[in-house]
Amino acid sequence: MTLPIRNVAIIAHVDHGKTTLVDALLKQSGTFREGEEVPDCVMDSNALERERGITILAKNTAVRYKDTLINIVDTPGHADFGGEVERVLGMVDGCVLIVDANEGPMPQTRFVLKKALEKGLRPVVVVNKIDRPQADPFGAIDKVLDLFLELGADDDQCEFPYLFASGLSGFAKKDLDDDSTDMKPLFEAILEHVPAPVGDPAKPLQLQVTTLDYSEYLGRIVIGRIHNGTIQAGQQAALVTETGAVVKAKISKLLGFEGLKRVELESATAGNIVAVAGFADANIGETITDPENPQALPLIKVDEPTLQMTFWVNDSPFAGKEGKLVTSRQVRDRLMRELETNVALRVEETDSPDKFAVSGRGEMHLGILIETMRREGYEFQVSQPQVIYREVNGQPCEPFELLVLDVPEESVGGCIERLGQRRGEMQDMRVGGNGRTQLEFVIPARGLIGFRGEFMRLTRGEGIMSHSFLDYRPLSGEVETRRNGVLISFEEGVATFYAMKNAEDRGVFFITPGTKVYKGMIIGEHNRPQDLELNVCKTKQLTNHRASGGDELVQLQAPVEMSLERALEYIGPDELLEVTPESIRLRKMVKKLAKR
């Protein structure tokens, strides 16, 4: 006898507690044995996810509750990884929408909820973090209802069930006055409000590929939901590709999900989410079906990218010194391999064999790809991100973003002024009782390029900024993204304390004494609008009257640390970011410098 099934996705804005809530569900369902050591955010298995505290890839798990198998898909909350959300929503029949009791719905909440409503899903709303100070659970519920109405939800979807919870403390309850110490009310709500999957086990097999994985033993593994029919290990099946071609293969291994493990199955029927090995060339959106009666499901459609940057083979004077994989063929092969699993990414070849146009959903989407590649040993350069323009009804249009800022009161004026110069239009302003103000803007995507660093300075690091793609609108005018000029190294060598100390009044440095530099490398920001070339390798001339240790008590001002994200936002149109496994360097695109 097969178990009753529920397939549910967990969706929310970044940092609203999805992964922590899934932790609590896993722990309380008896997935882990007594005394087993379980890390926090156990679903964030990727090293980058753990470092940044965000979910990047959608992941599957399954728990048992009252003889029902609940398949849970944990999705990313950041809009840059919206492609992950869009492709997995087709696997589920319901979703749990998590909202922070203090912040309420945020830009990404709107994005993921819109996608869920378009699929006809009826969300169960969980107001999370109710044990935090300044939490306003009922205010959050009212804001969620307003958002449902704004997104055109039908009457049935607007009558959403809601619960109050704390993922960190591991409890959920129907009413704030209830006493609860566990997640039982949420399990019950999933069983009651998420419909059982529909699908006919007697029909020909149809399984849509929504996620790809790789095993050294099994090769490519495809994960997806069985929409119709029954699948058995060892049976012959067919893959209907994007082009409509039918490729026959044998299912070498059939796996199901049980907690965080994959368990081997003999067979599975319609409604189950399974992993299948045996299809070496399967891609996302394609259908595994009956070879005698091949029937394809509609391909998965995801929103188009909004941002593009050029990946170059590294041609700086330090090229090839730090990376193992440096040739155009290696970079190209790696980008093409990324296309297989990253559905929201686009890669196009250019007129030069050393350059590739890579388009994605946002700076973080492309930044994660760059960081992943450099950790794998690749060395390359990237250009400044550019927005992708489109023609809508014969009119040139550009992408606009919905931007929400949470800032201290004293920073409000500065933020409004800077966003006004960047063509931002304020939609809403809410003054909180805790000395903070929430501002909402609609702004062209190009107006946000390079704004984060400026925003951090305006708010002295206390501001919170989040944004998501809104729509394409007619071009707005010139966007003023003022930035000072840069300090450029005049010759190759090693930066010295003496030279940097003498040039300290010219601006702020990105490097420290002892850093290797080359001609054309950007070493700091000038305190004036124009660029300035400096010789930071000059050494002090020693004489018998002056000791070399005479300056030991003199200190340099602290350099500005350039992380990958910060550098991507900082570079200008005539500049490149050189990325190697060991370093991140900024440089001018043209190496011709003024003659002296």
**Angle formed at CA 436 by CA 433 and CA 440, multiple of 5 degrees:** 115
Q: What does the pLDDT look like over 82-130, one tens digit per residue?
A: 566 777 777 888 888 888 888 777 767 777 788 788 888 888 888 888 8
The type of residue at 252 is S
Strand extents, DSSP E, 229-266: 230-232, 236-240, 246-250, 253-258, 261-264
128 is in an annotated binding site: yes
Q: Which residue has the higher pLDDT, 501 or 77?
A: 501
Tokens 């368990």 correspond to 263
Query: Any idea which of 50-54, 200-204, 311-315, 418-422 has the lowest mean pLDDT?
Result: 50-54
The 10 Å CB-count burial string (b at 16+, else e) for 383-420 is bbbbbbeeeeeeeeebbbbbbbbbbeeebbeebbebbe
- DSSP-derived letter for residue 434 is T
Check: CB of residue 376 under 8 Å from CB of residue 417: no
Distance CA 74, CA 56 (A): 10
Percentage of residues in the chain having pLDDT higher than 90: 11
Domain segments of the chain as ranges: 5-193, 206-289, 390-474
Among the residue ranges 24-33, 324-333, 470-479, the one predicted with the least confidence is: 24-33
pLDDT in tens, 345-363: 889 988 888 899 999 877 7
Asked if residue 385 has pLDDT above 90, the reply is no
Min mean pLDDT across 7-11, 104-108, 184-188, 227-231 is at: 104-108
Categorize the per-residue pLDDT at 35 as very low, low, confident or very high, splitting at 50, 70 and 90.
very low
Report, at the CATH architecture level, how domain 390-474 is classified.
2-Layer Sandwich (3.30)
315-324, 325-334, 461-470, 525-534: least confident range: 461-470
End-to-end CA distance of the chain: 85
Measuring CA to CA, which residue among 300, 249, 303, 258 is closest to residue 278? Answer: 249
Both tokens of 468, joined, read: 């998501």
Q: Is 15 annotated as a binding residue?
A: yes
Write down the CATH number for the domain with range 5-193: 3.40.50.300
Task: Kindly tell me if the per-residue pLDDT of 548 is higher than 60.
Answer: no
Using pLDDT thresholds of 50, 70 and 90, give the confidence band for residue 30. Answer: low
20 annotated as belonging to a binding site for a ligand: yes
Binned at pLDDT 50, 70 and 90, residue 292 comes out as confident
**With pLDDT > 70 as the criterion, what percentage of the chain qualifies?**
87
The bridge status of strand 386-387 relative to strand 395-408 is unpaired
H or E stretch covering 225? strand 219-228
Task: Confirm whether residue 19 is marked as ligand binding.
Answer: yes
pLDDT confidence of residue 81 = 57
Q: Return d(Cα 292, Cα 190) in angstroms, integer.
A: 37
Residue 260, helix vs strand vs coil: coil
Q: How many CB atoms lie within 10 A of CB 280?
A: 10
Parallel/antiparallel/unpaired status of strands 5-12 and 94-100: parallel
Closest by Cα among 588, 594, 570 to 518: 588
Which one, of 77, 82, 76, lies nearest residue 103 by Cα?
77
Query: Do residues 221 and 213 make contact, with C-beta atoms less than 8 angstroms apart?
Result: yes
- Tell whether 437 is in a known binding site: no
214-233 per-position pLDDT tens digit: 777 777 788 888 888 888 88
Give me the pLDDT at residue 394, please.
85
Q: Annotated binding residue at 354?
A: no
**7, pLDDT greater than 90:** no
Please provide the DSSP assignment of 331-355 as one string. Answer: HHHHHHHHHHH-TT-EEEE-SSTTE
Homologous superfamily (CATH) for 206-289: Translation factors (2.40.30.10)
pLDDT confidence of residue 47: 52
| Per-residue pLDDT tens digits for 146-170 | 888 888 878 887 888 888 888 778 8
What is the average pLDDT value for the chain, to the nearest integer? 81
341 labeled part of a ligand binding site:
no
For the record, the structure tokens of 409 come out as: 């009161």
Choice among 78-87, 264-273, 483-492 with the minimum mean pLDDT: 78-87
Give the mean pLDDT of 545-551.
53
